[in-house]
Amino acid sequence: MSVMTLNWTISENRFIVLNEITKWGEKEEEIELESSDESSDEETDEFRFHSYPFFMSRRSQLKQFSWSEEHDMWTFLLKEIHDPFTGIIEKNRVKAKGLRIWEKYRDESGVDRSATSLMKRFRRPGFSLPVNFSVDDQIKLHYALGIPLHDSLLNQVLEHAVVDLDESSCIVRYKDLRQGGLNLPQLVSYQIRNQDVPIEEPPEKKACLMVDEVPHAVKMETGYSEEVLESLVANEEVDATTYLESLVTKFQSTK
């Protein structure tokens, strides 16, 4: 932690500001500010007031992110981690888009902040965690955005889920053991169908005439033989049922 000491020396028409900042490997700096009249002295004093981090100007107060703003950002990210076509949660989907994702958020929300400011706030270590969401939504955000899983949430989900973490405590796999629970990564099966190719309907089954249904008299009169029928069945180009029906027709015509 850096230590800051300020020494002020006032002389006629002159301010000397000695800004001594002690850090690891840093030396003291001396800044000299000159002014020619009282108005410039006031401007210098205002500049001095806004220059140091332990003073908060009105402008810096406007830049602070409120709780509701951060909650809206998390809600937006919860939607963006899903593939719009499959609905599958994709790891690093938001990270790959970079600044474009925050330009989209800015356009949709209408916030008076630049996309760069939004991205920097999200990447800052002090950015709040999505604690005001359901446990499943928190897990989705931690998994997709690569956020390390903190102990309190980990202990909560270990009561009903199996979690695999990497060396950075980020979720690699997550399986909720309850029925219908959340599983990450998610798998999807695709069934591709070409709309241009018509689907052929299966042919209607003909009522087949079984061999046992052929009357014995028909077999005798028409010269039915097992050898002929077997040869017809073996030949895929000939329909054995048609052969049997022809036997019956032939027998009836001779009566």
Collapsing DSSP to helix, strand or coil, 223 comes out as: coil
Statement to judge: residues 11 and 98 lie in one domain: no
What single letter denotes the amino acid at residue 66? Answer: S
Query: Is this structure's pTM higher than 0.85?
Result: no
* Domain boundary, last residue among 14, 44, 63: 63
Q: What's the rounded Cα separation, in Å, for the pair 127 and 74? A: 11
pLDDT value of residue 233: 54
Per residue in 116-149, is it b (16+ CB within 10 Å) or e — as a string? Answer: eebbebbeeeeeebbeebeeeebbbbbbbbebeb
pLDDT 10s digit of each residue in the chain, 255 long? 444 444 443 333 333 333 333 333 333 333 333 434 444 444 444 333 333 343 344 444 447 888 888 888 899 999 999 988 888 998 888 888 889 999 999 999 888 888 898 888 877 755 667 778 899 999 999 999 888 988 889 999 999 999 999 998 999 999 999 998 999 987 654 444 445 555 565 555 444 445 555 556 555 555 556 665 555 555 554 555 666 677 667 666 665
Overall domain count for the chain: 3
Q: Are residues 147 and 80 in the same domain?
A: yes
Q: Are residues 86 and 175 in the same domain?
A: yes
Query: Which residues span the domain enclosing 164?
Result: 67-184
Token pair for 101: 């994702």
Structure token pair of residue 95: 């990270």
Task: Say yes or no: 142 and 170 in one domain.
Answer: yes
76 & 166 share domain = yes
From CA 81, how far away is CA 139, in angstroms rounded?
Answer: 12
| 246 inside domain | yes
Please indicate, yes or no, whether residues 116 and 174 belong to a single structural domain of this protein: yes
Same structural domain for residues 54 and 113?
Answer: no
Q: How far apart are CA 234 and CA 214, in angstroms?
A: 20
139 touches 182 (CB < 8 A)? yes
Residue 190 belongs to some domain of the structure: no
* Co-location of 123 and 154 in the same domain: yes
